[in-house]
Amino acid sequence: MKTIEYLSDPGLRSIFLPGVLAGLAIALFGGVLSVFVVMKRLAFIGQGISHAAFGGIGVAYVLGFGGAAAGAAFSAQLGIVFLFCLFAALQIGFLSSSESGRRGGKGNAQADTAIGIVLVASMGLGSLLLHIAEKNGRVATVSWESLLFGSIVSVSEADAWASGAVAVIILGGLFLVRRPLTFWAFDEPAAAAFGVNVGLMRLVLLVMLALATVTAMKLAGVVLATAMLVLPAAAAVQFSQRAGRVAALSVAFAVAAVVTGMMLSFELDWPTGASIVLVLAALFGAGWIKGRARGRGWSRTWQRAGSR
């Protein structure tokens, strides 16, 4: 098998192993965050943040930090993209929460419109700034396919370490606030009544989503970043109603998708990011079929939690 050869041969292992490790790190923090994204019905917000990264990339390239491989310039590029995504996340969160609150919880359609505006405006700005950077000679022609799907198998050892560090930061941060965050996610009005700072919990989740999105997009592209924040938990809730089990299944599905997708990529020479996304979609499809066979759709527990 090519997979065994790639990961056992000393010469090839240094090329392919960092991508595997980076993919597993993304699966860990993506699988956990996916639970809160699905629980709070923030899938569109996650998509908006990931696509907003286009705007951050455009800003970085215009400022001369595009295409940097390592060092201070690379750190500056990541910092710019992260700040842009964080700004977009806060704007999306503010628009969605304020619109819903102003209309007594019935402003979802208007909030979705506002999120869509932030999404397309960020992508439009990013496209324009990349075009300007190309005209000014600050960067060669940008491959939109690489931005969308990335090339996780070509990441460096430093990228793998960076993704591991981000996983530690996100998982550690979520562990520290796990009780109030989970309470807020399941029942926001009750959490507020019991003294939970719901605004802070929302901010924490949005910051974590921005950090996860920047990392996943940089290493694996926009499509995989979006998929990792939605599909693992969306598949998991088809198999269980218990929050702890859903979280465990979400992480397990994310890791399984990375492992299976990368094996398919190695063995069949398929695009790695697309392979992982399709495996996640297949897991969701299997869960949906299982749920339909039992005469139920989404878990009622999760429906109640997500509707609040």
* Domain 2-307 classification at class level: mainly alpha
Domain regions of the chain by residue span: 2-307
Do 12 and 78 meet the contact criterion of CB atoms below 8 Å apart?
A: no
- At 164 the pLDDT is 92
Neighbours of 307 (CB within 10 A): 9
List, for the chain, all residue ranges whose pLDDT scores fall below the cut of 50: 69-71, 104-107, 109, 301, 304-308
Q: What gap in Å lies between CA 156 and CA 117, rounded to an integer?
A: 35
Query: Closest Cα partner for 232 from 97, 47, 38?
Result: 38
Residues 6+ apart with CB under 8 A from 157: 14, 18
- At 7 the pLDDT is 84
* Tokens read off for 62: 């215009």
Distances (CA, A) of 244 to 4, 182, 222: 34, 11, 28
- At 298 the pLDDT is 52
242 sits in which H/E element: none
Q: What is the DSSP string of 85-128?
A: HHHHHHHHHHHHHHHHHHTTT--HHHHHHHHHHHHHHHHHHHHH
- At 29 the pLDDT is 95
Do 255 and 28 meet the contact criterion of CB atoms below 8 Å apart?
A: yes
Q: How far apart are the first and last CA of the chain?
A: 49
Do 45 and 93 meet the contact criterion of CB atoms below 8 Å apart?
A: yes
Do 228 and 235 meet the contact criterion of CB atoms below 8 Å apart?
A: no
